[in-house]
């Protein structure tokens, strides 16, 4: 039973998620980051009620322009902060920021008590929020970047290609095509924390909620803590099975295209997109 509590309901949900990601071995040290596009009226009311004396800080230029996110408010992990500390030091690990000046700057509203700034991957988070908000009709609100070991291992063992990776995972567990019918899109190894990795990811995020940052980690978008955890957990589980199969000399048989099509027919109503890569 989780006894963690916090005056900000979104921190109350996000801190246990971050801690659980650490306990899964996905977020060592400051590895990984998280952001949540919050319902504006609700978070504004919460901050006014619990922190009436807090004034917004001075605006800081954003790494990329995000005009479609003007005025949005995000709960985001600070650069250099440890997911392991999320329950113990939530006000240090997390901050709440708002995009201002036409989506060209952000200002701190709350948190980052040790003076941190939003994650160094903020450019990709912003690009992803803008795209996935549009593509999902506003449903997706949360971005999680982790370093899950089995998933990363595959980027050393397989071609860096979206179809090959997606099929390898779908063919290992029947749940996979249902949970990520949009597949996993591969981005080559690029310098972390750059606008370049944000731009390369943006192209792939138009088609999928799940990105592989080759030799680095996973980057995923979903609606809430349960769904984003389940998505990463499922991809990592299938990756572990695939890696074991590779380690044992390769598969003798797989879940074939016919079965993948039958799964799509039976569970289509649960899927967020029509699967590609089925031919
Ligand atoms: P931050 O500490 O800046 O969030 O960076 C962690 C990371 O995983 C970079 O890809
Ligand atoms: Zn990372």
Going by C-alpha positions, the residue among 73, 67, 68, 70 that lies closest to residue 94 is 73
Atom 10 of ligand 1, residue of closest alpha carbon:
192
pLDDT value of position 1:
57
Number of structural domains (the chain) is 2
Are 172 and 52 in a shared domain?
Answer: no
Give the CA distances from residue 140 to residues 22, 115, 128, 132, 207, in Å, rounded to whole numbers and listed in that order. 23, 29, 10, 6, 14
Put simply, whether the predicted model's pTM sits higher than 0.95 gets the answer: yes
Q: Which residues form ligand 1's pocket by a CB distance below 6 Å?
A: 30-33, 77, 79-80, 119-121, 145, 192-193
Split at pLDDT 50, 70, 90, the class of 159 is: very high
The verdict on 43 and 18 lying in the same domain is yes
Range of the domain at 199: 122-279
Of the chain, the percentage scoring pLDDT greater than 90 comes to 99
Residues catalogued as catalytic: 121
Atom of ligand 1 nearest to the CA of 216: 10
- Shared domain check, 237 and 129: yes
Is residue 232 scored above 60 in pLDDT?
yes
- One domain for residues 275 and 141: yes
Q: Which of 70, 103, 120 is the last residue of a domain?
A: 120
Ligand 1: which atom is nearest the Cα of residue 120? 3
Residues 173 and 278 in one domain: yes
For residue range 78-120, what is the model confidence (pLDDT) as tens digits? 999 999 999 999 999 999 999 999 999 999 999 999 999 999 9
How many CB atoms lie under 10 A from the CB of residue 48?
Answer: 10
Q: Which tokens is 159 given?
A: 């071609």
CATH code of the domain covering residue 53: 3.40.225.10
Using CA atoms, how far apart are residues 148 and 194, in angstroms rounded to an integer?
A: 21
pLDDT at 279: 87
Task: Give the residue carrying structure tokens 């649960």.
Answer: 270
Q: Are residues 70 and 157 in the same domain?
A: no
- Both 128 and 18 in a single domain? no
Domain boundary among 120, 147, 175: 120
pLDDT tens figures, 241-268: 999 999 999 999 999 999 999 999 999 9
């Amino acid at each position: 039973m989780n006894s963690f509590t916090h005056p900000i309901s979104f921190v109350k949900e996000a801190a246990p998620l971050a801690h659980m990601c650490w306990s899964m071995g996905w977020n060592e040290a400051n590895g990984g980051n998280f952001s949540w596009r919050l319902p504006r009226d609700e978070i504004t009311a919460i901050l006014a009620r619990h922190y009436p004396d807090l004034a917004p800080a001075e605006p800081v230029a954003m790494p990329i322009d995000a005009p479609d996110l003007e005025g949005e408010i995000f709960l985001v992990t600070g650069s250099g902060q440890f997911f392991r500390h999320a329950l113990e030091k939530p006000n240090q690990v997390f901050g709440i920021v708002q995009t201002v000046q036409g989506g060209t700057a952000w200002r701190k509203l709350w948190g980052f008590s040790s003076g941190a700034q939003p994650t160094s991957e903020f450019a990709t988070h912003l690009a992803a929020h803008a795209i996935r908000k549009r593509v999902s009709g506003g449903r997706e609100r949360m971005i999680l970047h982790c370093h899950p070991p089995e998933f990363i291992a595959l980027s050393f063992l397989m071609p860096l290609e979206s179809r090959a990776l997606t099929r390898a995972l779908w063919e290992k567990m029947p749940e996979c095509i249902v949970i990520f019918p949009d597949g996993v899109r591969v981005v080559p190894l690029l310098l972390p924390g750059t606008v370049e990795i944000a731009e390369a990811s943006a192209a792939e995020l138009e088609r999928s909620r799940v990105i592989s940052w080759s030799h680095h980690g996973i980057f995923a978008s979903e609606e809430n803590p349960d769904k984003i955890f389940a998505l990463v957990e499922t991809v990592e589980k299938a990756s572990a099975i695939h890696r074991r199969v590779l380690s044992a000399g390769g598969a003798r048989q797989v879940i074939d295209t016919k079965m993948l099509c039958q799964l799509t027919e039976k569970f289509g109503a649960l899927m967020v997109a029509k699967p590609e890569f089925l031919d």
